Amino acid sequence: MSQDQIQQSENAAPESSERSQSQQQGPQVRFDDSKVTATYANFCRVTGTPEELIIDFGLNPQPVGLPTVPIVVTDRIVTNFYTAKRMLYALQATIQRHEQTFGVLETDVQKRVKTQ
């Protein structure tokens, strides 16, 4: 093999390994989050139609017991069920990793309240 052929084959190897790594990871989706706004929510309501899922988010100022004032819904996501299922899988995986690291998340507030 000539020096040029060796150089070409050495240069080709990283490209093919990079290509195979990107194929294993799947396509990389680019996104622009420069216009995103962050909102805190401790309440969500899920409703829908046969074609769409509607998720409302808001802030419950009285998180223990039945709220005495209306919960103000500030954000709404309307999506299809395919995207909702992908979101479900992503959330499940994320929560599973969190619980493996920090312990089980108890969603029943009464079970989390410490009595003296």
Helix (H, G, I), strand (E, B) or coil at 46: strand
d(CA 105, CA 86): 22
Of residues 10 and 55, more confidently modeled: 55
What percentage of the chain carries pLDDT values higher than 90? 58
pLDDT digit string (tens) for 14-70?
Answer: 444 444 444 566 788 898 999 999 999 999 999 999 999 999 999 999 877 788 889
Mean pLDDT throughout 71-85?
A: 96
Question: Which pLDDT score, from 0 to 100, does residue 116 have?
Answer: 67
Question: Which pLDDT score, from 0 to 100, does residue 9 have?
Answer: 42
Give the DSSP H/E element, type plus range, for residue 94.
helix 81-102
Query: What are the distances in angstroms from CA 76 to CA 7, 14, 17, 106?
Result: 56, 45, 43, 25
